[in-house]
Chain A
Amino acid sequence: MSSVTPANAGAHFQRASVAELAKLPGVWRGGELENVVHATVPTGHAALDRELPGGGWPMGTLAEVLHEGVGQGEVSFLSSALTRAAGDDRLVAWIHPPYMPYAPALESLAVPLERMLVVRPSSREDALWAAEQAMRSGACGAVLLWLEGARRARAGGRREDEYASLRRLQMAAESGRCMAVYFRPLAAEKLSTPAHLRVALKREGTSLEVRIPKRRGPPLVLPLAIEAGWRRSFPVPPAQLLPSHSTPKPERTPVLSIVR
């Protein structure tokens, strides 16, 4: 029976329209990666690029990088993306970084130094404000934000506050077409986020384990291992402990003795 009866019309229509819907931009099935082309920049790690929707680190959205501690290679694994984002004469803003970015290191990662802008706000509110301004301005190709250790100017509600301010940042990143990265501790994985991408890092031996708990598509549960951090750029022989200068030097023996 080929005719569509009123009884099965609903289901028929539904099946057809779901297939149609999946072709719309911005709509995707839960099990697939989103197929729409967003502006992205390659991260320099082919394995990671394959798992990111659009084939690279997204521009124009807020992304979160979750990591424990500060020495995991959480910034350097993005260095190639930062270099790309700083193209077109756009700035890279470092907002409330945990320490001072070290110029020679950035230079050796080929990040253009003259476009770095470091902002050290005195409070959390100022940091969020500065991040939003930088993202919205369109002058920044990338905005890196840390909020750990920033004191609050006012005591206030925590979680809702947090979500709302991140939502603002997401909007700002969209309007400024800017790569916005918020670095936060692993514990934040339990909190919901308006960011479209969330990447969790863990150091495992010499490589960096990357999980993607949130992306436009199914979460990536099996971790990827990428080479990142100091070892990647400088393969070196193992360390050997040199004796210190302060050990008493042997008596100088004369090299030439004049015999009379």
Chain B
Amino acid sequence: MLWIALELPAFPLQIAERAGACADALVISEGPAQRPLVVCANAAAHECGIREGQAVAAAKALASELRVVPRDEAVERATLQRLAAWAAQFTPMVSIEAHGIVLEVESSLRLFDGHARLTSAIRQGARDLGFQATLGIAPTPLAARLFARAEARGLAVRSCMTGEHLAERVADLPLFLLDWPAKTLAHLADLGVLRMKDVLALPGDGLARRFGAPVLLDRERLMGRVADPRVPYQPPPRFRSRIELPAEADGVEALLFPLRRMLNELEGALRGRGSGVQQIAVTLEHGRSRRTRLDLDFASPERETDFILAIAREKLGRLVLPAATCAIVVSADALLPYAPRSAAWLPGPAETAIDRERLVERLAARLGRDRVFGIAVGDDHRPEKETGVRPAFPLAAPAGALSGNAGLTPVSKRPIWLLNRPQKLVTRQGQPAYLGELALEAGPERIEAGWWDGEEVCRDYYVATNPAGEAFWIFREHRDAQAWYLHGVFS
């Protein structure tokens, strides 16, 4: 077994600053309402002299423009759960700890090409989500956590891959990195037991008698002498993430950065489940009650951040926001099976089909779905019903399936452009004219149809040219011998 622990130092502060670092002093408060204390403070607050453990009132005296965010444990828990869901892309065994997660990675090492690449992938991934995480790698979860915490405090750590080096590698680490009760730690310090090597030298039965069985069990689990089973976290079959912006954002560009972080989170969670999403709802919150909802729909399940973000960017660009945005929510309800795509060097038919789909989606996202379409032959002799608009979704339908009865029309004179509705032509001495007098070149072709559905047409179609050489498709309505109409253009 090989475990990687991810620790998130100053976690509440990281959540508050996830959508972008706050330039002003910011503290997280906790404790009773009458005397809240500072739990975490950002760099600007540290510069003002604010320290963790101070009363918020004292901190406010030090920095006049102090922003105080009360700690919300429910949000912390939910964020950790999403982080665990995201980490499921690396291994199925992810378990949630106090301020981080632990991952069992031995079985994933081959897939990710060794522990060095795996840890750097996890590190980079966590950074893309907007978290500053420290990593520890060890044969037991508790030892991995110990290493991660030591790294968070800037202590020199050598990661440890096998059990035999564990005792030597943990030897110099201070005891306060463990989750033991403060009373136990103080008592041990009084005895001169300050480092791991001192604890390891103590006899087990004596340790249990003086400090309780849990302390001994912890030590044995850390050293891998007693099994330390974990329950893997099972993420729910839906996704919801919310980010509060550090300052109200007016434009759309400012939303893309936090949105990318959330979509990264979504992508990781989807990779872990082997799924994709076809519908994503992005909700922008403006103040208390007003919100703007943006729906992203895809032709097939998707999960790649870059692609989803490109679609979202086009859609956001078309939105007119009623007010400045203060929070973003991304949610997806149906997680569908995802067919992975191969990144071939020479694109084959499958890749071309994906390119095609993505092009249509991108165009429809910006221009609107009704402005991007295909065309098809209709099953009717009336020219206006012989052509049809066919939705561009799904575009990748097999050839021939869309044309209901292709080949109904014998090959004959048909113009490339058809007018939406016939345009009445002026006549001079009974001769039609359009940009000059029209000369009939070919025809007539009589089309009589539609008597069965009330939209009867009885027309004689001709090809006609004007003096400029433009060729048109015109017809004469039978009911009114004088009426000529322009219906198409031979382009």
Q: Which of A2-10, A27-35, A67-75, A164-172 is the interface stretch?
A: A67-75
| Interface flag for A13 (CB, 8 Å) | no
**A80 at interface, CB cutoff 8 A:** no
In the assembly, what is the distance between CA of A233 and CA of B401, in Å?
27
- Could you tell me the distance between the alpha carbons of A72 and B490 in the complex, rounded to whole angstroms? 7
- Interface readout for B420-448 with A: 1 if CB under 8 Å, 0 if not? 10000000000000010000111110100
Once the chains bind, are A99 and B418 in contact (CB under 8 Å)?
A: yes
Given known pairs A106-B375, A230-B463, the reply for A99 and B419 (CB within 8 Å) is yes
Query: By the criterion CB–CB under 8 Å, are B418 and A118 in contact?
Result: no
Cα separation A230 to B473 with both chains bound (whole Å):
10
Closest CB-CB distance, A83 to chain B, in whole Å?
13
| Contact flag A246-B480 (CB < 8 Å), given A72-B491, A230-B490 | yes
Interchain CB contact (< 8 A) of A138 among B355, B441, B460, B469: B355
CA of A142 to CA of B358 in the docked complex: distance in angstroms? 17
Q: Which of A91, A102, A117, A244 contacts B415 (CB 8 A)?
A: A102
Q: From known contacts A76-B416, A119-B372, infer whether A139 and B470 are also in contact, taking CB-CB under 8 Å.
A: no
A89 contacts across to B, CB distance below 8 A? 349, 352-353, 356
0 or 1 for each of B400-411: is its CB under 8 Å from A? (1 = yes):
111100100101
A239-B443 contact, Cβ under 8 Å, with A108-B411, A117-B392: yes
Q: How many residues of B sit at the interface, in one of the four size bands?
A: 35 or more
Q: Do the beta carbons of B395 and A117 come within 8 Å of each other?
A: yes
Closest to A243 in B: B481
Q: Does B489 contact A (CB under 8 A)?
A: yes
Known: A108-B414, A130-B367. A100 touches B420 (CB 8 A): yes
> Are the C-beta atoms of B377 and A113 separated by less than 8 Å?
yes
Q: Which of B352, B359, B417 contacts A99 (CB 8 A)?
A: B417
In chain A, positions 39-89 with a C-beta closer than 8 Å to chain B are 68-76, 88-89
List chain A residues, Cβ under 8 A from B413: 230, 234, 236
Question: Is A124 part of the binding interface, using a Cβ–Cβ cutoff of 8 Å?
Answer: no
Chain A residues numbered 192-248 whose CB sits less than 8 Å from any CB in chain B: 202-205, 229-231, 233-234, 236-242, 244-247
Within 364-411 of B, Cβ neighbours of A (below 8 Å) are at 366-367, 371-378, 383, 386-389, 392, 395, 397-403, 406, 409, 411
Inter-chain pairs besides A102-B416, A114-B399, 14 sampled, C-beta below 8 Å = A70-B491, A71-B491, A72-B491, A76-B490, A99-B419, A102-B488, A104-B387, A112-B399, A114-B374, A117-B374, A230-B442, A231-B441, A234-B442, A239-B443
User: Nearest 10 CB-CB pairs, A to B?
Assistant: A203-B469, A71-B470, A99-B417, A105-B414, A139-B355, A245-B478, A102-B418, A239-B440, A103-B387, A244-B481
Q: List 27 A-B residue pairs with CB atoms under 8 Å apart, sorted by A's residue number.
A: A70-B470, A71-B471, A71-B489, A71-B490, A72-B470, A74-B491, A89-B349, A99-B419, A99-B420, A102-B415, A103-B403, A107-B409, A108-B412, A113-B375, A113-B376, A113-B402, A114-B376, A118-B373, A118-B389, A130-B367, A203-B469, A204-B469, A205-B469, A229-B490, A234-B413, A242-B446, A244-B481
